[in-house]
Amino acid sequence: MIIKKQVHRAYKKVNPIIGVLLFLISILLFVLTVPFGFVYGLIYKLFKGGVTSIGEYALKMAISIDQLGNVSMQYLLNALWIKKDGYYFGNRDETISSAIGRNKNLGTLTFFGRSIDRLLDTIDPNHSLNSIDYYIEPTDKIIDKLAWIHLVDGKILSTRSKGKTKYYIPGGKREPGETDTVTLVREIKEELSVAIIVPSMEYIGVFEAQADKHKLGILVRMTCYAAQYQGQLLPHSEIEEMVWLTYKDRELISAVDQLIFDFLHLKGDLVE
């Protein structure tokens, strides 16, 4: 996974006339400038880095074209390549391969989608799964959350909300415009009454799975950090219970938390 820190911004509504004009201008500029720029780029990379650098340049171009295709062909791909409740194509920040990978994980590819996935795999094994981009702009198909990984003696701190039966790793949803740090500090203070020590925050990873109690195709993306804290851990707000779980408690948690448990257990940080 590649760490790419940024504040996510939602799409802005655009005047349809302005949208059409910008589209026409972009097409004109593309036709007039891209061929010359591409040829110059090939020559530049050849002389500066040899054949290998040309391959890297071509790959960057392929990714950009893939993102363009994900937007321009989104309605056709959604109709032919995925089932009704699949993860939609069309995110301007994502490639077609990444969207295929998400649907492969969900089991929502149609015959046509599976055929394309197999074709890609013959060229590059596990291509779609390895292409999943966990740092794209959040959409209504992705619930963007932060989680605090707090381990003591091989056990992980987990919580249960009022009226819920499953346990969850502490954390919560990102508000519009919030950074990872702001979200995590706010959520942990609200849930457990303690203050995260920001300089101690250590990035763990990003995990993604089908969201609990949501229709198929709605994913939850969990960005995880370990961190020290100040204060006394006490359940607060909607939190009814605070527990310490081990790997054997895996069936008591959500799908995305199960992936986190697997990761921590494999590292040897979470005991049986």
Kindly state whether residues 161 and 99 are assigned to the same domain.
Answer: no
Chosen domain end from 135, 158, 186:
135
5 domain residue, yes or no = no
Kindly state whether residues 205 and 259 are assigned to the same domain.
Answer: yes
Q: Which residues contact 202 (CB under 8 A, 6 or more apart)?
A: 225, 226, 227
Q: What pLDDT score does 32 carry? A: 77
Using a cut of 0.85, tell me whether the model's pTM lies above it: no
Q: What pLDDT score does 23 carry? A: 67
pLDDT in tens, 228-264: 999 999 988 788 899 999 999 999 999 999 999 999 9
Kindly state whether residues 212 and 104 are assigned to the same domain.
Answer: no
pLDDT in tens, 113-161: 999 999 999 988 999 998 888 777 767 788 999 999 999 999 999 999 8
CATH code for position 236: 3.90.79.10
Kindly state whether residues 60 and 165 are assigned to the same domain.
Answer: no
272 domain residue, yes or no = no
Tokens 């799409």 locate to 11
The structure tokens listed for 263 are 């990761």
10 domain residue, yes or no = no
2 domain residue, yes or no = no
3 domain residue, yes or no = no
Kindly state whether residues 205 and 262 are assigned to the same domain.
Answer: yes
Chosen domain end from 72, 92, 107:
72
Chosen domain end from 26, 52, 72:
72
Kindly state whether residues 123 and 184 are assigned to the same domain.
Answer: no
Q: Pairing state of beta strands 229-230 and 151-152?
A: unpaired
106 domain residue, yes or no = yes
Residue 230 near residue 265 (C-beta atoms within 8 A):
no
117 domain residue, yes or no = yes
1 domain residue, yes or no = no
Position 261, amino acid: F
Kindly state whether residues 171 and 259 are assigned to the same domain.
Answer: yes
Give the mean pLDDT of the chain: 86
Q: What pLDDT score does 46 carry? A: 80
Angstrom CA distances, 247 to 205, 268, 272, stand at 18, 10, 5
Length of the chain: 272
Kindly state whether residues 99 and 49 are assigned to the same domain.
Answer: no
Q: What pLDDT score does 118 carry? A: 94
Kindly state whether residues 187 and 234 are assigned to the same domain.
Answer: yes
At 5, the pLDDT band (50, 70, 90 cuts) reads: very low
Position 172, amino acid: G
Kindly state whether residues 194 and 100 are assigned to the same domain.
Answer: no
Kindly state whether residues 228 and 165 are assigned to the same domain.
Answer: yes
Residue 144 near residue 179 (C-beta atoms within 8 A):
no
Give the residue from 272, 146, 131, 255 showing the smallest Cα distance to 206. Answer: 146
CA distance 250 to 264: 12
- CA atoms lying within 13 Å on the CB side of residue 126: 4
Q: What pLDDT score does 200 carry? A: 93
Domain span holding position 32: 15-72
What is the distance, to the nearest Å, from the Cα of residue 123 to the centroid of all Cα atoms in its chain? 24
CA distance 47 to 123: 28
Kindly state whether residues 114 and 178 are assigned to the same domain.
Answer: no
Q: Which residues contact 227 (CB under 8 A, 6 or more apart)?
A: 148, 150, 184, 196, 197, 198, 200, 201, 202
Q: What's the domain count of the chain?
A: 3
Most distant CA pair in the chain, distance? 65
